[in-house]
Structure 1
Amino acid sequence: MEKNLILVINPGSTSTKVALFKDKEMLSTTSIQHDSKELIKYNKIIDQLDYRMSMLNDAIESYGLNLSSLRAVVGRGGMLKSIESGTYLINDRVIEDLLEAKRGEHASNLGALMAKRISDPLNIPAFIVDPVVVDEMNDIARISGMKEIERTSIFHALNHKAVARVVSEKLGRPYQDLNLIIAHLGGGVSVAAHGKGRVIDVNNALDGDGPMSPERSGTVPLGPLYTMCFSNEYSLKDIKRKNYGAGGLVSYLGTSNAKEVLKMIDNNDSYAKLIMDAMCYQISKEIGAISTVLKGRVDAIVLTGGLAHNPYITRYITESVSWISTVHVYPGEDEMSALNEGALRILNHEEQVKLYE
């Protein structure tokens, strides 16, 4: 059988990760670092496209990659409209929506655009896989309590779905037959109820819903918040920053680095321990709350993401929630492999490619 060569492109805020796969084997990978002083010159993230493409092409040339043998290119999906889980062909509608950035600017918006620029001259398909806007929520989960505001699904969909497949294989049962709670623990935290192959409820990991995280505030009491908003002491930008980027561990301890916080705890810093425990407490509380969505019938709880490398954090959460179901720990998030495998499922005819409309 002919091997599938696939190029994967994953733009981040200050880097662009690139990897070449032969089927599931990663042949090479690199992370192109972008100078923040250079990036600041661009008013919008989309304006970085030519700059990043130039550096990507230089990297491809320096590594001597033979693009003519590629069967597909995969880019990290961005802030599109809400869509169901799956692998999508990058069509004109995808490009149009990402260029307009109507649903928000994010470095991941560049992924599909860069993949399409590589694939078009080669006349091969380009895909995105499970972007952050995957939305499979039940209608009842969308009700917020304030009619003007609807709860929305923005979460670490790529890693959630990839880990769900791994767990289902370990349990020897199809994902579509399982009830799982998956908690992605990273700079942001998303805790989701996976009911029979669908993410039927999840906190919005971007806009302040759910538990605090290393750099996000999570849900906070509204009364004090809107008093702050109208105090004339803070701009809208300030408030957004307190929610996203300067919230959570950063707000209390001045760092989003969990390893630094653990060093503080090892040095008998009781305040650092209180704040770290509070984050673990809130994550555990979210897992307990979302177990009610599955009516307590939970086949497994899964802890994943970068913070899941940390035994202090996983031990605290496991001790708090293991009465609900068995806890499985899968540290990290292998986004490059997850993107590659999404394309492979299409090339191997295991799934039907989806169209963004």
Structure 2
Amino acid sequence: MSTPVLLLNCGSSSIKYKVIDADSEAVIASGIIQRIGEESGTLDHKLESETVHVDRGFPNHARALTYLVRVFNAHGPDLDTIRAVGHRTVHGGEAFRSTVVIDDAVLEKLKELSPLAPLHNPPGIAGIEAAREALPDVPHVAIFDTAFFATLPPEAYTYAVPVDLAKAHGIRKYGFHGTSHSFVSRKAAEFLGRDYGNLKQIVCHLGNGASISAIDNGVAVETSMGLTPLAGLVMGTRSGDVDPGLHAFLGRELGMDLGEVDNLLNKKSGMLGLAGVTDFRDLNELIEEGDEAAALALDVYCHRLISFIGAYIAVLGGVDVISFTAGVGENDSLVRSKVVGRLAGVGAILDEQANQARARDARVISTPESPITVLVVPTNEELAMARETKAAIS
């Protein structure tokens, strides 16, 4: 049996996609359309036996997806075989606590939720509308970044702001990267041969965007991102947690408006603001050259992460497994060494040789006698989306 599903991840100026057989879980095709809305864009379409590259302008998401249909028709796979389309949807608010099949009512509700994620939901909605028009005869499914964290207890998701204001405008912690945190935590339990419902886990999703979660016996109880993906850890261009008074300070002292402050904290801060780079390979080169700003940036990054891990161990009342995932988490042994090296006092003992080894599969990087097991677990959000999509149409 075969259940090919098309998975779309629409950003403000890009569309990433994969076709996965949700039964065999094999990747049939993948690709990315970049620089949507600019005069010159690109499309890269990869099949097992062929790679197609196109240089052309894509004025909007609808035109980009229309052209993608042409590429599928010319090079494969056959769109007539697609059983469903799964859409990565960043913010489901309180309305969507699990994956849903998209209809007009769902789409309208997503538009209502756009103020909660103004940078992410609008392009996602544009992608959904364009894909439903291009592929009208198959179900379309929304997979929410926030859904995994719908289990957060009230004491974790409630902000100390006026209750009426919070209720009226949906102001609370939602959490993001939920698809990755769910996939990695389940994969960790499977890899260790342990019962998912009987493990205390911390998952560190460290990519250009970064977040951390506490999972108690299969239930998410805390996470670092909040109302928006800006909160929590230091990220590639995002500041993570800062004093909320910074907004007023920048407005009062520098005359910056809210849009300028938002842009500063989302796009010009984090590792970019501290060291001038976002790629940790570049950061490590700068550190090796003696760049003090780069060294401090790494220390700040690791200090913030260690602080969250310590807090989450307290929230969980202990931890069995700590997993590192995503681009930095999977590939930067220095970050893992600096972080786990500081956790020896709570029971995480690093095997430095295992930490330095490179592998594509899940692996243990703690010593056999370490009370806390430390893992590197490659994430696979598209596979998780394929599974969610299959379950929704079943």
Match of 2:382 in 1: 336
Q: Is the 8 A contact 1:304 1:330 kept in 2?
A: yes
Q: Is the 8 A contact 2:224 2:232 kept in 1?
A: yes
Deviates more, 1:173-182 or 1:205-214: 205-214
Match of 1:4 in 2: 3
Match of 2:62 in 1: 50
CA distance in 2, matches of 1:82, 1:55: 35
The change in CA–CA distance for 1:116 and 1:35 in structure 2 (over 3 A counts) is: closer
Match of 1:32 in 2: 33
Give me the identity figure in percent: 24
What residue ranges of structure 1 are gaps of 5+ in the alignment?
41-46, 350-357
Match of 1:78 in 2: 90
Deviates more, 1:256-265 or 1:226-235: 226-235
Deviations 1:257-295 (A, max 9, x none): 222111100112122111111101111111111121111
Q: Give 1:145 shift.
A: 3.4
The change in CA–CA distance for 1:263 and 1:155 in structure 2 (over 3 A counts) is: same
Q: Give 1:225 shift.
A: 4.2
CA distance in 2, matches of 1:70, 1:208: 35
The answer to whether residue 132 in structure 2 is matched with residue 116 in structure 1 is: yes
The change in CA–CA distance for 1:168 and 1:93 in structure 2 (over 3 A counts) is: farther
Q: Is the 8 A contact 2:205 2:212 kept in 1?
A: yes
CA distance in 1, matches of 2:87, 2:129: 8
Q: Give 1:82 shift.
A: 2.7
The change in CA–CA distance for 1:288 and 1:115 in structure 2 (over 3 A counts) is: farther
The change in CA–CA distance for 1:304 and 1:111 in structure 2 (over 3 A counts) is: farther
Match of 2:223 in 1: 202
The answer to whether residue 150 in structure 2 is matched with residue 128 in structure 1 is: no
The change in CA–CA distance for 1:281 and 1:260 in structure 2 (over 3 A counts) is: same
2:192 to 171, 174, 198: 171
Letter in structure 1 aligned against 2:73: E
1:327 to 374, 377, 382: 374
Match of 1:253 in 2: 275
2:110 to 94, 98, 103: 98
CA distance in 2, matches of 1:275, 1:27: 40
Letter in structure 1 aligned against 2:181: H
The change in CA–CA distance for 1:48 and 1:219 in structure 2 (over 3 A counts) is: same
CA distance in 1, matches of 2:233, 2:306: 9
Q: Give 1:192 shift.
A: 1.0
Deviates more, 1:186-195 or 1:124-133: 124-133
Q: Is the 8 A contact 2:176 2:229 kept in 1?
A: no
Secondary structure, in 3 states, of the residue corresponding to 1:145? coil
After the TM superposition, which residues 185-264 of structure 1 pair with which residues of structure 2 at under 5 Å, given as runs? Answer: 185-204=206-225, 206-264=228-286
CA distance in 2, matches of 1:198, 1:257: 32
Secondary structure, in 3 states, of the residue corresponding to 1:328? strand
The change in CA–CA distance for 1:75 and 1:326 in structure 2 (over 3 A counts) is: same
Scaled by the length of structure 1, what TM-score is found?
Answer: 0.85
Q: Is the 8 A contact 2:29 2:77 kept in 1?
A: no
CA distance in 2, matches of 1:109, 1:327: 38
What residue ranges of structure 2 are gaps of 5+ in the alignment?
42-58, 348-371
Letter in structure 1 aligned against 2:133: R
Match of 2:153 in 1: 138
Scaled by the length of structure 2, what TM-score is found?
Answer: 0.77
Q: Is the 8 A contact 1:90 1:116 kept in 2?
A: no
The change in CA–CA distance for 1:84 and 1:165 in structure 2 (over 3 A counts) is: farther
Q: Give 1:10 shift.
A: 1.8
Q: Give 1:18 shift.
A: 2.1
Secondary structure, in 3 states, of the residue corresponding to 1:327? strand
The change in CA–CA distance for 1:112 and 1:154 in structure 2 (over 3 A counts) is: farther
Match of 2:54 in 1: none
Match of 2:101 in 1: 89
Match of 2:182 in 1: 161
The change in CA–CA distance for 1:213 and 1:338 in structure 2 (over 3 A counts) is: same
**Number of aligned positions between the proteins:** 337
Letter in structure 2 aligned against 1:145: A
Q: Give 1:304 shift.
A: 1.0
CA distance in 1, matches of 2:212, 2:159: 17
The change in CA–CA distance for 1:271 and 1:203 in structure 2 (over 3 A counts) is: same
Secondary structure, in 3 states, of the residue corresponding to 1:163? helix
* RMSD, aligned α-carbons: 2.6
Match of 1:14 in 2: 13
Q: Give 1:167 shift.
A: 0.8
The change in CA–CA distance for 1:81 and 1:271 in structure 2 (over 3 A counts) is: closer
Letter in structure 1 aligned against 2:215: H
CA distance in 1, matches of 2:12, 2:327: 17
CA distance in 1, matches of 2:132, 2:37: 25
Q: Is the 8 A contact 2:62 2:126 kept in 1?
A: no
Deviations 1:119-139 (A, max 9, x none): 432xx3222224345422100
The change in CA–CA distance for 1:194 and 1:117 in structure 2 (over 3 A counts) is: farther
Match of 2:299 in 1: 277
Q: Is the 8 A contact 1:194 1:200 kept in 2?
A: yes
Deviates more, 1:224-233 or 1:63-72: 224-233
The change in CA–CA distance for 1:267 and 1:209 in structure 2 (over 3 A counts) is: same
